């Protein structure tokens, strides 16, 4: 018996075809998250921001690029069998090592305690960047949780991204090291849009003062205008969630920290995606945060 196609069936089929076409043509924005020094909450920002965006229905890939000292898997409470070391040796591909995280997030784990990963050759770095580029055709946003400091790995991976978030705290050593990172990226010739996130701020005013201090120095000595991505308030829920090995946006969605992540995600949707994705994706994404 021949199958009867109703008008509703044809509409559904057309919708699926349009969605497939959109997925084939969409190229994700890549956001690298780094910091001048360790201990400023960089990975926590990367992990929770990625989960929040995924929870809004976006196709998000989080890649732990803190090679040699990766820890995003601990924050996500996942135990991957393979990691980037297996990709670099040719034993696995990126899709083969990926695991599913909370809210449909796709997570690609790094490796910890492997010294060779912290000192990749130029060929290895370029090879890894090329493989990550391929992820952009099946995602809306690719988030790179880069290492801290200004090693060649960090600068190469961050410079390859469309946007860079430099995380700092209001503490003078963190601000000094954040400026050093911005300076190194600027001199590297990075064409990425560099923005500052002030983490662990006691108040919005403290965060604003921290950003303005950093921005003023960058403008004076680098003649570079660094933008402000937003801030994260100091919140004991973050520390508790880390101890519980559960992302705070999942465990404590009503916390001040989660509200700050929501604001940061909204800013990303409005400023990162609208520069080249004026079509349906941009409208869909921005609509999620209005």
Predicted confidence (pLDDT) per residue in 100-125, tens digit = 999 999 999 998 777 778 788 999 99
Residue 268: predicted pLDDT: 85
CB of 59 closer than 8 Å to CB of 139:
yes
Q: Which domain holds residue 88?
A: 25-281
Side by side, the strands of the sheet bearing 106-108 are 99-100, 106-108, 60-65, 141-148, 29-35, 163-168, 193-201, 227-233
For position 164, which CATH number holds? 3.40.50.300
| Domain assignment of residue 4, yes or no | no
Residue 173 has pLDDT above 80, yes or no: yes
Residue 6: predicted pLDDT: 45
Helix, strand, or coil here: 200? strand
Question: Over pLDDT 70: what percentage of the chain?
Answer: 84
| Domain assignment of residue 289, yes or no | no
Q: Of 165, 167, 244, give the one whose Cα is nearest residue 207.
A: 167
Is beta strand 227-233 parallel, antiparallel or unpaired with respect to 99-100? unpaired
pTM: 0.86
Considering its fold, how many domains does the chain have in total? 1
| Domain assignment of residue 14, yes or no | no
Token match 């929870």: residue? 55
CB of 150 closer than 8 Å to CB of 40:
no
CA dihedral 186, 69, 232, 250 (to 10 degrees): 140
The torsion angles phi and psi of 213, rounded to 5 degrees, stand at -65, -45
The DSSP letter of residue 235 is: -
Average pLDDT of span 280-286: 52
Question: Distance between CA atoms of 138 and 58, rounded to whole angstroms?
Answer: 11
Provide the token pair at 157: 């991976």
| Domain assignment of residue 5, yes or no | no
Residue 13: predicted pLDDT: 46
| Domain assignment of residue 77, yes or no | yes
Average pLDDT of span 234-255: 97
Contacts of 236 (CB under 8 A, 6+ apart): none
CB of 105 closer than 8 Å to CB of 54:
yes
Residue 39 has pLDDT above 90, yes or no: yes
Is beta strand 106-108 parallel, antiparallel or unpaired with respect to 99-100? antiparallel
Handedness of CA 52, 55, 56, 59 (dihedral sign): positive
| Domain assignment of residue 37, yes or no | yes
pLDDT digits (tens, 9 = 90+) for 60-94: 999 999 887 889 999 999 999 999 999 999 999 99
Residue 111: predicted pLDDT: 83
| Domain assignment of residue 141, yes or no | yes
Question: Distance between CA atoms of 206 and 198, rounded to whole angstroms?
Answer: 9
| Domain assignment of residue 286, yes or no | no
Decide: residue 164, CB within 10 A, 0-12 exposed, 13-18 middle, 19+ buried.
buried
Residue 189: predicted pLDDT: 84
pLDDT digits (tens, 9 = 90+) for 194-222: 999 999 999 999 999 999 999 999 999 99
């Amino acid at each position: 018996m021949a199958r009867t196609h109703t008008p509703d069936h044809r509409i559904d089929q057309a919708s699926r075809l349009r969605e497939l076409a959109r997925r084939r043509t969409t190229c994700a924005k890549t956001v690298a998250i780094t910091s001048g020094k360790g201990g400023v909450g960089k990975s926590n920002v990367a992990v929770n921001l990625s989960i929040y965006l995924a929870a809004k229905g976006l196709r998000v890939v989080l890649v732990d690029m803190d090679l040699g000292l990766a820890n995003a898997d601990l924050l996500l409470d996942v135990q991957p069998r393979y990691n980037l070391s297996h990709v670099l040796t040719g034993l696995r591909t990126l899709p083969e090592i990926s695991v599913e995280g909370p809210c449909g997030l796709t997570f690609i784990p790094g490796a910890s305690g492997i010294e060779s990963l912290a000192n990749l050759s130029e060929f290895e770095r370029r090879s890894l960047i090329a493989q990550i580029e391929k992820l952009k055709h099946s995602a809306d946003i690719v988030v790179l949780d880069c290492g801290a400091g200004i090693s060649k790995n960090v600068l190469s991976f961050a410079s390859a991204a469309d946007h860079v978030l430099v995380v700092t705290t209001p503490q003078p050593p963190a601000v000094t090291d954040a400026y050093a990172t911005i300076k190194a990226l600027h001199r590297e010739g990075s064409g990425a849009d560099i923005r500052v996130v002030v983490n662990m701020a006691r108040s919005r005013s403290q965060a604003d003062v921290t950003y303005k201090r950093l921005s003023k120095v960058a403008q004076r000595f680098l003649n570079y205008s660094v933008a402000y991505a937003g801030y994260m308030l100091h919140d004991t829920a973050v520390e508790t969630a880390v101890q519980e090995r559960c992302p705070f946006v999942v465990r404590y969605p009503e916390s001040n920290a989660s509200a700050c992540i929501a604001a940061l995600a909204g800013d990303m949707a409005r400023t990162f995606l609208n520069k080249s994705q004026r079509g349906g994706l941009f409208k869909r994404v921005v609509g999620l945060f209005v």
